[in-house]
Chain A
Amino acid sequence: MKKLLMAFAMFATLGLNAQSKYESAMQNGFTKMKESKTVDEMSAVASFFERVGDAEKTQWLPYYYAARNYTISAFMNPSADKDKAAEKVKGLIAKAEAIEKDNAEIFCLKQQVAVMQLIVDPMSRWQSYGAIAAEAIAKAIAIDPNNPRPYLLEGQYLMNVPEAFGGGKAVAKKLFEKSVELFGNFKPASVLHPSWGKEQAEQLLAACQ
Chain B
Amino acid sequence: MKAILIFIAGMMLAGLLKAQILVKGTVKDNKGRILAGANIAIKDSYDGTMSDSTGSFSFKTTEKGNALLVASNIGYKTMELPIVLGTDSVVISFILKEEINELKAVIITAGSYEASDKKKGTVLKALDIATTAGANADISATIQTLPGAQKVGEQEGLFIRGGSAEEAKIIIDGTVVNNFFYSSVPGISQRGRFSPFLFSGTVFSSGGYSALYGQALSSVLSLESLDIPEKSELQVGLSPLFATVGLQQVANNKKSSYGFSYDWTNLAVYQKLVPQAPDFFKVPDFHTADMNYRFKTKKNGVFKMYAYYNSGTLGVRNPSLDSIGLWNAFSLKNQNLFTNISFRQFLGNGWKINIAASVSYNKDEILTQVQNQQYQAVPTTNIPVIDQTGFSLNANQWMLQGRVVVDKRFGAINTIRFGTEVWNNTDSSRFQNINGLFPSKVNDFYKAGFAEADLYITNELAFRPGVRIEHSSLLNKMNIAPRAALSYKLGKNSQVTADYGIFYQTPERRYLINQPPVNFLRADHYILTYQHISSSYTFRVQAFYKDYVSLLKMSNSFPSTVSNTGLGYAKGVELFWRDKKTFKNFDYWISYSYLDTKRDYNNYTDLVQPTFAATHSGSVVLKKFWVKNMFGVNWNYNWSTGRPYFNPNRSPKDFLVDKTIGYSSNNFSLNWLPKIGKANAVVVLGVNNVFNERQIFGYNYSGRLRDNNGDLIRSEINPPADRSFFLGIFLSWGVDRSQQNINNNL
Partners in one complex: yes
A residues at B contact (CB < 8 Å): 2, 5-6, 8-10, 12-14, 17, 25, 40, 43-44, 47-48, 50-52, 54-55, 83-84, 87-88, 91, 120-121, 123-125, 127-131, 134-135, 137-138, 141-142, 145, 150-151, 154, 162-166, 174-175, 178
From B2-10, B180-188, B278-286, give the one contacting chain A: B2-10
A137 in contact with B742 (CB, 8 Å): yes
How would you classify the secondary structure of chain A's contact residues: helix, strand, loop or mixed? helix
Give chain B interface residues in 650-675, CB to chain A under 8 Å.
673-675
Mask: chain B, 285-299; 1 = CB below 8 Å from A; 0 = not = 000000000000000
B555 within 8 A of A: no
**In the complex, number of A-B residue pairs with CB atoms less than 8 Å apart:** 118
Mask: chain B, 3-28; 1 = CB below 8 Å from A; 0 = not = 11011001100100000000000000
Neighbouring A residues of B74 by C-beta, 8 Å: 84, 87-88, 91
A13 in contact with B7 (CB, 8 Å): yes
Specify which of A44, A88, A138 lies most central, judged by the most chain B CB atoms within 10 Å of its CB: A138
Neighbouring B residues of A52 by C-beta, 8 Å: 46
CA distance A142 to B744 in the complex (A): 11
CB-nearest residue of chain A to B118: A128
CA distance A127 to B37 in the complex (A): 32
A44 in contact with B50 (CB, 8 Å): yes
Neighbouring B residues of A127 by C-beta, 8 Å: 117, 230
CA distance A48 to B47 in the complex (A): 8
Partner of A9, one of B3, B14, B70, B746: B3
Question: Please, could you name 22 A-B residue pairs with CB atoms under 8 Å apart, sorted by A?
Answer: A5-B2, A6-B2, A9-B7, A13-B11, A14-B10, A17-B14, A40-B52, A43-B50, A47-B50, A48-B46, A51-B39, A55-B41, A55-B43, A55-B44, A87-B75, A91-B74, A121-B535, A124-B117, A124-B125, A128-B117, A141-B742, A178-B746
Give chain B interface residues in 699-746, CB to chain A under 8 Å.
734, 736, 738-739, 741-742, 745-746
A13 in contact with B739 (CB, 8 Å): no
B394 within 8 A of A: no
B122 within 8 A of A: yes
B680 within 8 A of A: yes
User: Interface residue tally of chain B, by bracket?
Assistant: 35 or more
B630 within 8 A of A: yes
B residues at A contact (CB < 8 Å): 2-4, 6-7, 10-11, 14, 37, 39, 41, 43-50, 52, 70, 74-75, 103, 117, 122, 125, 127, 230, 254, 535, 580, 587, 627, 630, 673-675, 680, 734, 736, 738-739, 741-742, 745-746
B6 in contact with A6 (CB, 8 Å): yes
| Min distance, Cβ A35 to any Cβ of chain B, angstroms | 16
CA distance A51 to B46 in the complex (A): 5
Neighbouring A residues of B630 by C-beta, 8 Å: 162, 164
Neighbouring A residues of B103 by C-beta, 8 Å: 83-84, 87
A138-B122 contact, Cβ under 8 Å, with A9-B10, A12-B7? no
CA distance A129 to B70 in the complex (A): 33
Neighbouring B residues of A17 by C-beta, 8 Å: 14
